[in-house]
Amino acid sequence: MLKLQSVMTYYGRIMALRGISLHVDPGEIVAIVGPNGAGKTTALNTISGVLAPKSGRIVFDGKDVAGKPTDSLVDMGLVQVPEGRQLFAGMSVYENLMLGAYRRSSADKKTRLRDDLDRIYQIFPILKERQKQSAGTLSGGEQQMLAIGRALMARPRMLLLDEPSMGLAPLVVKEIFKVIADLRKERKTTVLVVEQNVKAALTVAKRAYVLETGRVVMEGASSELSKNPEIQRAYLGKGYKHMVE
């Protein structure tokens, strides 16, 4: 579904991605983990067309999409839920969701928009309760739900999620990750998720890549990675064994 080959991205003269390769198969949930400043957000932004890679190939659905503008990638069904959510804070929950469907053709919208909205309200009932409220007044968890809901309104076939658990209480994290797992099951939505919460990420994802200073330093099945002593020490902490039920 998605394949990156030796992708390099720069900020001016600073190299943030030093040639990363990864792939995500259709219907798969894959995680990218790594320390602050590793280049995780840069990787997602390069895939979604916010940044243009200096070299390398990005293939989505069999087409080379490196350097393509974000709007055409949204049209192809690749939608990003960004770091920091990037909601439209002065607008209502409803308006935020409607803008998620911005790129959908008007014919498609008329017939299915209402249904899609209802389905998002089913997934996140709290958003329905708050639909007239300004997005800026929502709690952190509700904002993350809205960011995901907004992306879902575009009917994505693949979601890029950037640190969905950031700043959220453990229960809310659990809920969000359950939604991600359900999306894969029910809609076959492919997911590439960036996480600092490695434990949660490895639970939901089948495979993962470890990114450090712009390079993929490790990759493999989540079950293997979570047993890896290096990963346990660096990302899962001492209490890890203790926390696993």
Ligand X SMILES: Nc1ncnc2c1ncn2[C@@H]1O[C@H](COP(=O)(O)OP(=O)(O)OP(=O)(O)O)[C@@H](O)[C@H]1O
Interface with Mg ion by CB under 5 A: which residues? 41, 83
Binder to ligand X among 20, 24, 30, 38 (CB under 6 A)? 38
Handedness of CA 72, 75, 80, 85 (dihedral sign): positive
Site for another protein in 21-60 (CB under 8 A): 48, 50
Is residue 239 near another protein by the rule CB under 8 A?
no
- Provide the 3-class DSSP secondary structure of residue 150: helix
Binder to ligand X among 1, 19, 24, 40 (CB under 6 A)? 40
Binder to another protein among 5, 21, 70, 213 (CB under 8 A)? 70
Selection from Mg ion, another protein, ligand X, none that 74 binds (CB < 5 to 8 A by kind) is: another protein
Which is nearer to ligand X, 41 or 226 (by Cβ)?
Answer: 41
- Provide the 3-class DSSP secondary structure of residue 11: strand
Total residues interacting with ligand X, rule: CB under 6 A: 13
Binder to ligand X among 20, 31, 33, 41 (CB under 6 A)? 41
Is residue 11 near ligand X by the rule CB under 6 A?
yes
Site for ligand X in 183-212 (CB under 6 A): 196
**CA-to-CA distance for 229 and 245, rounded, in angstroms?**
19
What single string gives the DSSP state of each residue in 61-86? TTEE-TT--HHHHHHHTEEEE-TT--
Site for ligand X in 12-31 (CB under 6 A): 14, 16
Which is nearer to another protein, 48 or 226 (by Cβ)?
Answer: 48
CA nearest to 103, candidates 151, 145, 50: 151
Strand-pair category, 215-221 with 207-212: antiparallel
Which is nearer to another protein, 99 or 166 (by Cβ)?
Answer: 99
Stretch that binds another protein, among 16-24, 88-96, 187-195, 232-240 (CB under 8 A): 88-96
**CA-to-CA distance for 157 and 183, rounded, in angstroms?**
10
Which is nearer to another protein, 33 or 73 (by Cβ)?
Answer: 73
One-letter amino acid for residue 214 of the chain: G
Handedness of CA 189, 192, 196, 198 (dihedral sign): positive
**CA-to-CA distance for 104 and 74, rounded, in angstroms?**
9
Binder to ligand X among 25, 26, 37, 233 (CB under 6 A)? 37
CA nearest to 219, candidates 83, 60, 20, 48: 20
| Beta bridge partners of residue 215, listed in sequence order | 212
User: How many C-beta neighbours within 10 Å does residue 151 have?
Assistant: 22
Is residue 102 near ligand X by the rule CB under 6 A?
no
Binder to another protein among 16, 17, 120, 154 (CB under 8 A)? 154
Q: Which chain residues interact with ligand X by CB under 6 A?
A: 11, 14, 16, 34, 36-42, 83, 196
